[in-house]
Structure 1
Amino acid sequence: MRVDETPAGGPASTKRAPNHTAAPATNWIDLARVCAMGAVVLVHAFSPLVSTTHAELGSHSWWAAHVFDSALRWCVPVFVMISGGLLLRPREHEDAAAFYRKRWAKIGVPLIVWTVAYLAWERWRDGIAASDAVAAASSGTPSIHLYFLYVIAGLYLLTPFLRTVVAYTSRAGLWWFAGLALGIGAADQLLGLVEGVGGSTAATQFLPFLGYYLLGWLLMTSDPGPRALRYGAVLFTGGVTATAVGAWAAAAVAGEWGTGAEYVYDFLSPTMVVASVGAFLLLRSAGLKLAAIGGPAARRIGRVVSVLSGLSFGVYLVHVMVLNTLRDIGGTPDGAAAFLAACGYGAATAVISIVLVAVVQRIPYLRATV
């Protein structure tokens, strides 16, 4: 019986009718995924300079890496928002069991395989103890980037429930929900600056990102018109500028790149939330414009972007191993050459990772890991 029908012999139902929001346009997502993947690789290429491992705080190389890094840190939030936008639309014919079966193949297998692979690689490369490996896996951070798998896995577990929330909650209510979740996530990260406070486990890595997941659905189903483009440009510019200035100021006051600067850089810091929303809106606008362009050239570009999008998840998984191997082989110079070296390592890592993933996807059984 539909919720708007009257039960026999009873009063009319007062249960709220579900929100039947039309499926949003998704032909822009391939471009967004490719851009976000490129941003992830570059963030990890520049991070040793920003953290002053290979550059002096305030030097030309540091500033160059810092500005680029500040402008690219929207990558992970955008990935989370894309997942929320695609998966939170209520589906009447997909129950929780069907959803979990489908998503296990996409996230469960890679999570297990790459957790083991990176821990084994770190043990071979750096000789980490078995107890440290267990602790890293238990915290959901077996490598610098694999926390993302634990975040997505946790969000997937909640998705069937969240679909019900989306179906029966007004958009105003969902905006409040997303804003409150992001606020709690930002507060959680801020309290983590207090010595001895904070920390997460593999089971709770996803919680701070719940607001982004809901926000993805709200933004994806919002009006994609010119106003969204203008808002995106303002939010992105303002958020990136505030992140760059704020992190520099925190580092300058402390006299080093420390916890204050790291907080400003965090995906849940207020400035990065603003920049990430702006990046999402800009990528959607750019992708929709690309999809609307006709002609052979546009179609060829679209096919290339589609292929790269299909490789993006695998590239995310393998790129840290590739990047650090290149650094181990080639070394990283200090001073003025550090920034150019980081750019070179980033480009080489992207190309090698794309080729590796394209090969692995053609191998039976192994393709399930990427």
Structure 2
Amino acid sequence: MRGTAWISWLRCLAVYGVVLIHTVGATATAGAQGETDLVDGWVARALDLPLLWVVPVFVMVSGALALDPARYPGAGEFLRRRVRRLVPAVVVWNLVYVVYLSLTRPGWWAGPGEAGQRVLVGEVAPHLYFLWIVLGLSLLTPLLVPWLARTGRRAWLVAAAGAYSVPVLSLWPLGPGGEPVGVTHAAWTWWLPYLGAYLTGWALRGVRVPDRLLLVLVLVVAALSVLLTWQWSNPAAPTWLQDWAGAHYYSPTVAALSVAVYLLAQALLAPGGALSVLTSDRVMVVVDPVGRATLGIFALHFLVLLVGTDTGVLGAPVAPWPVLLARFVVVAAVTTVLALLGRRVPGVRRVL
């Protein structure tokens, strides 16, 4: 347990980072458009943009586990497990959100055909595309593991850097007239921009940053977080910065931040690390079940947030920053409890 406890912690940090992003996102956007209090808008930005690492790091953690040749059960067994785990989740959670939005958003339902189209391009809920990412990467894993087993870390890092460059280059102004080349967003291609993160998770697993460099990593994380917060939707940010290193998931800035967070967590929480006390058996009895429930927390939290804001129990979507913090705590706690309880129910457990 102790050797991989940092992975459980990183899963938990990432999933609650997703919850926080969705909790404050509407206020951050309103602030950028001058439609809410200046302080509330900037606090929301500061709680949102520094967490752009959460999705890439989620994928890195998945790669660190799924691409391990020592744990790989063979193509047939691996795919059976992943299909049993992911396909029901993709179907059920898209159906849940389609039903909820159809019942609560006048005019949203335009027939099953359009609903299916929304599912395939990620317009049902803003987070469900992640399920397609993991499913796509899982289907690719049987091709990757044999190669990883017969090569070494240098080859892994080169392949990871090459794959990571695909989304980065695709949003640089390299097209005619300085336009981005573009990345296609559809259910069957969402995995492509995250292949680099998937390989990076395995390539960097076990890489222990020396203690003397940990402060440098902390400063890198802090500096990139401040930069992303400042530049997002900011007219004062230079055009070249927005074009070449924008505040979005495919930015080289976010790639560097994600790698720094991953390495920092591994160094601090690994055995002998400065925070290794947090990986004691007594602590991990609590953390590990939450880490295993992160897929359910990820899928369910947005529904809890919608219900809370639609009913007014958690306030309006755009709210003062103290309300945002309280809302985050409530959504995170309620979702975690529901996910942990649901995992005890045999049928429900398959989608949590």
**Superposed pair shares fold, TM > 0.5:** yes
Q: Once the 2 structures are TM-superposed, how far is the Cα of residue 293 of structure 1 from its aligned partner? A: 3.1
Per the normalisation by structure 2, the TM-score is: 0.86
For the residues of structure 2 that align with 1:139 and 1:276, how far apart are their CA atoms?
25
Question: Which consecutive residues of structure 2, in runs of 5 or more, have no partner in the other structure?
Answer: none
State the one-letter code of the partner of 1:44.
H
State the one-letter code of the partner of 2:258.
S
| Residues 1:358 and 2:340 aligned together | yes
Does structure 2 retain, via aligned residues, the 8 Å contact 1:291–1:302? no
Aligned to 1:235: 220
Aligned to 1:87: 66
Residue deviations 1:174-203, cap 9 Å, x none?
222211211111122446995996532110
Does structure 2 retain, via aligned residues, the 8 Å contact 1:238–1:275? no
Does structure 1 retain, via aligned residues, the 8 Å contact 2:136–2:190? yes
Aligned to 1:128: 109
Residue deviations 1:73-112, cap 9 Å, x none?
2111111000111111224872211110111222122111
For the residues of structure 1 that align with 2:151 and 2:229, how far apart are their CA atoms?
37
Alignment of 1:10-21 (within 5 A): none
Aligned residue pairs: how many? 338
For the residues of structure 2 that align with 1:183 and 1:195, how far apart are their CA atoms?
14
Q: Once the 2 structures are TM-superposed, how far is the Cα of residue 239 of structure 1 from its aligned partner? A: 2.2
* 1:197–1:300 distance in 2 versus 1, CA, 3 Å: closer
For the residues of structure 2 that align with 1:349 and 1:232, how far apart are their CA atoms?
31
Residue 76 of structure 2 is aligned with which of 83, 97, 100?
Answer: 97
Aligned to 1:10: none
* 1:120–1:168 distance in 2 versus 1, CA, 3 Å: same
Does structure 1 retain, via aligned residues, the 8 Å contact 2:32–2:234? no
* 1:180–1:325 distance in 2 versus 1, CA, 3 Å: same
* 1:182–1:93 distance in 2 versus 1, CA, 3 Å: closer
Aligned to 2:267: 285
For the residues of structure 2 that align with 1:362 and 1:290, how far apart are their CA atoms?
34
| Residues 1:348 and 2:326 aligned together | no
State the one-letter code of the partner of 1:184.
V
For the residues of structure 1 that align with 2:348 and 2:72, how far apart are their CA atoms?
31
Matched-pair identity in %: 28
For the residues of structure 1 that align with 2:300 and 2:311, how far apart are their CA atoms?
17
Residue deviations 1:339-368, cap 9 Å, x none?
222212111111111121122112221111
* 1:182–1:321 distance in 2 versus 1, CA, 3 Å: same
* 1:299–1:99 distance in 2 versus 1, CA, 3 Å: closer
Residue deviations 1:240-259, cap 9 Å, x none?
122123325457679xxxxx
Per the normalisation by structure 1, the TM-score is: 0.82
| Residues 1:212 and 2:197 aligned together | yes
State the one-letter code of the partner of 1:145.
H
For the residues of structure 2 that align with 1:109 and 1:68, how far apart are their CA atoms?
32
Secondary structure of 1:264's aligned partner: coil
- Structure 1 or 2, whichever has the larger Rg, is 1
Aligned to 2:293: 311
| Residues 1:226 and 2:211 aligned together | yes
Q: Once the 2 structures are TM-superposed, how far is the Cα of residue 273 of structure 1 from its aligned partner? A: 0.9
For the residues of structure 1 that align with 2:213 and 2:114, how far apart are their CA atoms?
46
For the residues of structure 2 that align with 1:162 and 1:228, how far apart are their CA atoms?
32
